């Protein structure tokens, strides 16, 4: 099963809609709750990151019997120092993003914690692609 | 502790999804930082927060949080209430501060998340 969603820059009113749709789909498919939670927390964090930092992007989700693969690809500033960004507490979020309840510097660490495979391709001034795989029990 | 008992303790007003009479709240976590909320297992946990926007609802949806105790007299708008209903989340609105709400629940036997 394949799904595609669009990410709009700074649209916090609708941010999380894609993750919400994926959650409903996984529930309908009878996926175990623990795997659903891991997948949607990782996807939600990546979706929020893209809304907060990038200029727009797409989310592609593929679900099969063994795994959920989620690819969040954005056009944006990229991540200058990925090693720092993976550290808990490191954040470059704007005051506006912080007002929305984000910017604790836990996004990428949370994604890592909740995925079985994680790949981040980023280029400064071009964008970032986050590929996440959660294996289904 | 039942959701309705918590509402009574904090002089709260219930909005969002109807109260699940069988749901037991055992723990509480107080935060306005949603990424912190997403770090933990939130089963049977009430989120105490003053953050009042759609992202509070989305975060609770992803974290499987069923009860929000919204302090500082924050007033969820229609969008938030609709999201709460759609996702089976009950909101208890209270005029008390986050510190006071935390103290009341702690005194009543609700455990900290950690």
CATH number of domain containing A47 = 3.30.565.10
Mean per-residue pLDDT of chain B: 96
User: How much is the pLDDT for A82?
Assistant: 86
Helix (H) or strand (E) holding A42: helix A33-53
Q: What is the rounded average pLDDT of the residues B50-75?
A: 96
- Best probe of the B interface among A23, A27, A44, by most B CBs < 10 A, is A44
Cβ–Cβ of B58/A45 closer than 8 Å?
no
Nearest to A93 by CA among A82, A84, A78, A104: A104
Q: ipTM greater than 0.85, yes or no?
A: yes
B82 has a chain A CB within 8 A of its CB: no
**Can you list the domains of chain B with their CATH numbers?**
3-112 (3.40.1390.20)
pLDDT at B20 over 90: yes
Q: How many domains does chain A contain in total? A: 1
Q: What is the rounded average pLDDT of the residues B87-97?
A: 98
Cβ–Cβ of B61/A33 closer than 8 Å?
no
The dihedral over CA atoms of B79, A60, A106, B17, expressed in degrees to the nearest 10, equals 30
- Residue B25's alpha-carbon distances to A6, A30, B21, B109, in angstroms, are 37, 26, 11, 10
Helix (H) or strand (E) holding A96: helix A95-99
- Residue A136's alpha-carbon distances to A29, A43, A68, A72, A77, in angstroms, are 12, 15, 7, 19, 33
Cβ–Cβ of A44/B58 closer than 8 Å?
yes
B36 has a chain A CB within 8 A of its CB: yes
d(C-alpha A54, C-alpha B81), whole Å = 29
Q: What is the rounded average pLDDT of the residues A7-17?
A: 87
- Token representation of residue B2: 């039942």
A93 has a chain B CB within 8 A of its CB: no
pLDDT at A24 over 90: yes
B38 has a chain A CB within 8 A of its CB: yes
Q: How many CB atoms lie within 10 A of CB B15?
A: 18
For residue B65, the distance in angstroms to the closest alpha carbon of chain A comes to 11
The confidence band for B111, taking pLDDT boundaries of 50, 70 and 90, is very high
Q: What is the rounded average pLDDT of the residues A101-117?
A: 88
User: How much is the pLDDT for B67?
Assistant: 98
Instruction: Show the domain range for A78.
Output: 2-135
pLDDT tens digit sequence for A58-105: 999 999 999 999 999 999 999 988 888 888 888 888 887 888 888 777
Cβ–Cβ of B55/A107 closer than 8 Å?
no
- Token representation of residue B22: 């069988």
Cα B65 vs. chain centroid, distance in angstroms? 8
d(C-alpha B37, C-alpha B39), whole Å = 5
């Amino acid at each position: 099963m394949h799904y595609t969603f669009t990410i709009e820059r700074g649209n916090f009113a609708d941010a999380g809609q894609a993750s919400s749709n994926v959650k409903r789909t996984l529930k309908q498919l009878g996926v175990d709750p623990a795997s659903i939670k891991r997948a949607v927390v990782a996807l939600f964090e990546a979706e929020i990151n893209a809304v907060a930092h990038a200029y727009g992007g797409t989310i592609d989700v593929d679900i099969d019997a063994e795994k959920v693969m989620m690819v969040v690809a954005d056009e944006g500033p990229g991540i200058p120092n990925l090693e720092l960004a993976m550290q808990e507490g490191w954040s470059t979020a704007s005051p506006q993003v912080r007002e929305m309840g984000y910017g604790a510097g836990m996004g990428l660490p949370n994604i890592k914690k909740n995925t079985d495979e994680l790949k981040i391709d980023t280029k400064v001034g071009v964008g970032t692609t986050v590929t996440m795989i959660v294996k289904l029990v | 502790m039942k959701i309705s008992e918590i509402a009574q303790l904090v002089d709260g007003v219930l909005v969002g999804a109807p109260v699940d009479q069988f749901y037991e709240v055992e723990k509480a976590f107080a935060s306005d930082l949603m990424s912190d909320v997403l770090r933990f297992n939130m089963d049977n946990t009430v989120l105490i927060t003053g953050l009042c926007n759609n992202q509070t609802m989305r975060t609770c949806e992803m974290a499987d949080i069923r009860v929000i105790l919204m302090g500082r007299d924050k007033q969820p708008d229609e969008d938030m209430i609709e999201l709460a209903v759609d996702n089976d989340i009950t909101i208890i609105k209270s005029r008390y501060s986050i510190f006071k709400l935390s103290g009341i629940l702690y005194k009543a036997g609700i455990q900290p998340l950690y």
